[in-house]
Amino acid sequence: MRGLGDGRVFLITGGAGGIGSATAEILASHGGRVVITDVLGEQGEEVVAGLNAGEGQIRYLDMDVTSPDDVRRVAARLEEEDWPVYGVMANAGVAPSAPAADYPDDTWRTTIDINLNGAFWTVREFGRRMIERGAGAVVITSSIAGFGTVSPETHVAYGSTKAAVAHMARLLGVEWARTGVRVNAVAPGYTATPILDRLKEEAPDVFDQWLARIPMGRLNTPEEIGNAAAFLFSDLASGMTGAVLNVDGGYSAR
């Protein structure tokens, strides 16, 4: 895809997970330089060591998205090292389950802090620098849970944050439309990650309910989400900003 190579730098928060890692490999395969961030220390380095960088480069940095100071630290470090970020994927997120009437205060705050605040701190800091350069692209990871009621899981905090970040993409897409910086969101459906693999073993009846509601009758692969993100980063999406791209096997069109 045009606009992903030539040394362009892409940063993916929560990048050590299935969707983040798949996106990193896709961007690197097109010649991009990719920075995966997470809070995993040496484990994050091990994840990167196992990825295929293709014609590009992939590196790992610790970054706590809930800390604006830490986000600023990483952004400044990358510019000092001649890795100015052209594209950022605000992908870090958690999805704890609990009945709403018994939802723990700390769990609510943590989910909001990572999924919503963390997305904004990331987009604000790297977006500011893109605006100064007059070019860049932002992709925020939303979810089908942000656009409709999913069940039987009880994810009130997760769904609320995913609705919020999708609207954040629309708001910033319009606000920054004339700066050279595009902002879009990708809304994955149920995706084949280790978390869902475990759920299939622990609660096969729930898994079967999910499959029955997906028109394509299967889970998305992390690579399918990564391809959508890469498209939004690429010059092929040069006319898109403030959009939400659903990649959910038809789930949201039911």
What is the tens place of the pLDDT at every residue in 97-132? 888 999 999 999 999 999 999 999 999 999 999 999
177 occurs within a structural domain: yes
Active-site positions read 158
pTM over cut 0.75: yes
235 occurs within a structural domain: yes
Q: How confident is the model at residue 210 (pLDDT cuts 50, 70, 90)?
A: confident
3-state DSSP of 180-206: CEEEEEEEECCECCHHHHHHHHHCHHH
Structure tokens at 221: 């692969």
71 occurs within a structural domain: yes
197 occurs within a structural domain: no
Is the pLDDT score of 223 beyond 90? yes
pLDDT digits (tens, 9 = 90+) for 51-103: 988 888 999 999 999 999 999 999 999 999 999 999 999 999 998 888 899 99
Q: Residue 37 sits in a domain of what CATH number?
A: 3.40.50.720
114 occurs within a structural domain: yes
Angle at 129 between CA 123 and CA 132, to 5 degrees: 130
Q: 66 - beta bridge partners?
A: none
Q: How confident is the model at residue 184 (pLDDT cuts 50, 70, 90)?
A: very high
196 occurs within a structural domain: no
138 near 144, Cβ under 8 Å? no
Residue whose C-alpha is closest to residue 22's, from 247, 227, 235: 227
pLDDT digits (tens, 9 = 90+) for 21-42: 999 999 999 999 999 999 999 9
Domain holding 123, by residue range, is: 9-191+222-246
Structure tokens at 13: 């928060």
Supply the mean pLDDT for the chain: 94
Q: Domain count for the chain, please give it.
A: 1
205 occurs within a structural domain: no
200 occurs within a structural domain: no
